Structure 1
Amino acid sequence: MVENRPVATTLSHLVLVLGVMIVAFPVYITFIASTQTAEQIVQNVPMSLLPGDNMLESYRLALFGGKTAYGANIAPVLPMLEVSLVMALVISIGKIVISLLSAFAVVYFRFPGRGIVFWMIFVTLMLPVEVRIGPTYEVVSNLGLLNSYAGLTVPLIASATATFLFRQFFLTIPDELVEAARIDGAGPMRFFKDVLLPLSRTSIAALFVIQFIYGWNQYLWPLLITTSEDMYPVVLGIKSMISGGDAYTEWNAVMATAILAMLPPAAVVILMQKWFVKGLTDSEK
């Protein structure tokens, strides 16, 4: 029985509200800046915390690009959002498919060196992209995949973490279920499609959310292999919009682009929140 403690309940809610305010305040500032002109952002110190009247122009400039009053050219964000969406979907779906098949092979197939193969996959967790980025770039360059969707996504598809998580889940499936499927005449792939995949729905949903955000927020790898603005993801596009030195920066367009970049991953989290939480907390395997 849960005890009713008003003081503790009030304190916990205050801490929760404070945490939400700390997290949400920078987002609010970004949105407010996107509704003002660049002059208002730079000249008004401190910046006004009330929305301005330049919202439509800021988002139009961010989405479709164009030349500003100071002669600066703003690249349109729509193609960047498309590149980021393709990257996020291909990386997340590719990681899940490869990890499912890898875990299925390691758990249900008996072959020499099975344990060694699994540990070789697991050890790659010690080698993140930043460590192996030089050799990976050379391979991608030699294959002629620079400035391409394949070059942006294929090197990031493999995931030892997802393979490990699916393996641990498959190990919890009773042997009686495997025997029943075998008695019914189900082959390996039918068992995988009709039994394992339905049981893995919540885990797949949780991993999809995580990997989608991971693919959407990629910065270092696209920075290395893209030299054409046509293949810039939105995160790299935000960096390219910030001028260095004495050059003038349209901060309202930058902030509008930042807000636009937040919307797709936020939508994925909101739409799949139920499955995401269930995939992380469901213990009825």
Structure 2
Amino acid sequence: MAGVIQYAKRRVEALRRGSATETVAGDGPWTHLQLWVLVFAVVFPIAVALVVSTKQTGVVTGLGDLVPGGYAVENYREALVDYRFGRFMWNSLVMSLVVVVGKLVVSVCAAMAIVYYRVPHKDLVFLFILFTLLLPVPVRFVPLFQLMNDLGWSNTVLAITVPYVASATSVFILRQHFLSIPASIVETAKLDGVGPLRFMLFVLVPMSRGVLVGVSIIMFVYAWNQYLWPLIIIDSEANQVAQVGLQLLQGDVQGGQLSWSLVMAGSTLTLLPPLLLMIAFRKPLLETFSIQQK
């Protein structure tokens, strides 16, 4: 496995240098076999979910049952309309977009202040930001729940978005990227009398477009997959998100048997938005993951 990871890193570096056909060390049949095994291990559960979502009940007892059925349209329509899964997905989309925009604004401003400006004890502040990564998220739920109730935000979009606006991971990634920007560009901006806002909008953001897109995808997937906090703070079923909606689908038992076809249809629908985004923006996403090597 370690060999596959090293090979993948070398291949990414080759692609970044613009040589897609470059041969790297370890580029042999055994490495390719390991990669295909990993791909199969990831794709196979997704393929099974797709097949099950096209069946009447979704019960699979053997490999012979892994044949597409003829109930795909009916199952997806029932999940989206009858069980209001389309509403759940819309709520997740709104939540994710608000979280992404809020995190970008806060993280860019924080990283810019840490890197380019003389903030008192900024190294200590940055260490404190990183220290928050050691605190498990569920530990914060009790005081956060009380705070949301005191503010009157329970069962609202604010309750599932505002607590996620600050992100230590995003600040760390953007800080590392800002440190890689040539100092001459920063000095030129200072000599030209460029203010903080113009420096951020016309220098940092254009030069960080790829990284910002990659960070946005990471934040979108993270927000889209939230389950526990929306389950706690949202009481109304109409305001719930897609991950909790999947649990509601699992709670529906027809004739004493769980309708796995509906559950897999909902799971497939939930998978589509982040999967399409990751495929469409795979290049900036890889650049974001490899930024630590710069």
Asked if Structure 1 and Structure 2 have the same fold, meaning a TM-score greater than 0.5 normalized by the shorter chain, the answer is: yes
Q: Among residues 268, 278, 281, which one is paired with 1:269 in the alignment?
A: 278
Could you tell me how far 1:119 is from its partner in structure 2?
2.5
1:56 maps to amino acid: V
Deviations 1:215-235 (A, max 9, x none): 010011111101111111111
Give the TM-score normalised by the residue count of structure 1. 0.87
CA distance in 2, matches of 1:269, 1:233: 20
Q: Give yes or no for contact 2:173–2:291 (8 Å, CA) kept in 1.
A: no
| Map of 2:54 onto structure 1 | 35
Deviations 1:29-86 (A, max 9, x none): 1111111101xx33x6336111011111111101111xxxxxxxxx211100101111
2:159 maps to amino acid: G
Q: Matches of residues 87-236 of structure 1 in structure 2 within 5 Å?
A: 87-236=95-244
CA distance in 2, matches of 1:207, 1:143: 30
CA distance in 1, matches of 2:177, 2:189: 18
CA distance in 2, matches of 1:261, 1:238: 9
Unaligned residue ranges in structure 2 (runs of 5+): 1-21
Could you tell me how far 1:244 is from its partner in structure 2?
7.9
Alignment coverage as a number of residue pairs: 271
CA distance in 1, matches of 2:70, 2:23: 50
CA distance in 1, matches of 2:257, 2:24: 59
Q: 3-state DSSP class of the match of 1:36?
A: coil
Distance of aligned partners of 1:244 and 1:59 in 2 relative to their CA distance in 1, 3 Å threshold: closer
User: Which 10-residue stretch deviates more, 126-135 or 149-158?
Assistant: 126-135
Q: Give yes or no for contact 1:63–1:77 (8 Å, CA) kept in 2.
A: yes
Deviations 1:121-152 (A, max 9, x none): 22211223212111111111111111111101
CA distance in 2, matches of 1:55, 1:3: 44
| Map of 1:20 onto structure 2 | 39
Q: Give yes or no for contact 2:55–2:72 (8 Å, CA) kept in 1.
A: yes
Q: Give yes or no for contact 1:235–1:261 (8 Å, CA) kept in 2.
A: yes
Distance of aligned partners of 1:221 and 1:247 in 2 relative to their CA distance in 1, 3 Å threshold: farther
Q: 3-state DSSP class of the match of 1:132?
A: helix
Could you tell me how far 1:154 is from its partner in structure 2?
0.7
Q: Give yes or no for contact 2:50–2:268 (8 Å, CA) kept in 1.
A: yes
Q: Give yes or no for contact 1:203–1:280 (8 Å, CA) kept in 2.
A: no
Deviations 1:191-237 (A, max 9, x none): 11111111211211111111111001001111110111111111111
| Map of 1:254 onto structure 2 | 263
Could you tell me how far 1:104 is from its partner in structure 2?
1.1
Q: Give yes or no for contact 1:103–1:166 (8 Å, CA) kept in 2.
A: yes
CA distance in 1, matches of 2:131, 2:178: 20
Q: 3-state DSSP class of the match of 2:28?
A: helix
Could you tell me how far 1:112 is from its partner in structure 2?
2.8
Q: 3-state DSSP class of the match of 2:232?
A: helix
* RMSD of equivalent CA atoms: 2.3
Unaligned residue ranges in structure 1 (runs of 5+): 66-74
CA distance in 2, matches of 1:249, 1:144: 37
**Residue 279 (str. 1) matches residue 288 (str. 2):** yes
1:64 maps to amino acid: V
| Map of 1:9 onto structure 2 | 28
Give the TM-score normalised by the residue count of structure 2. 0.85
User: Which 10-residue stretch deviates more, 152-161 or 163-172?
Assistant: 163-172
CA distance in 2, matches of 1:186, 1:156: 31
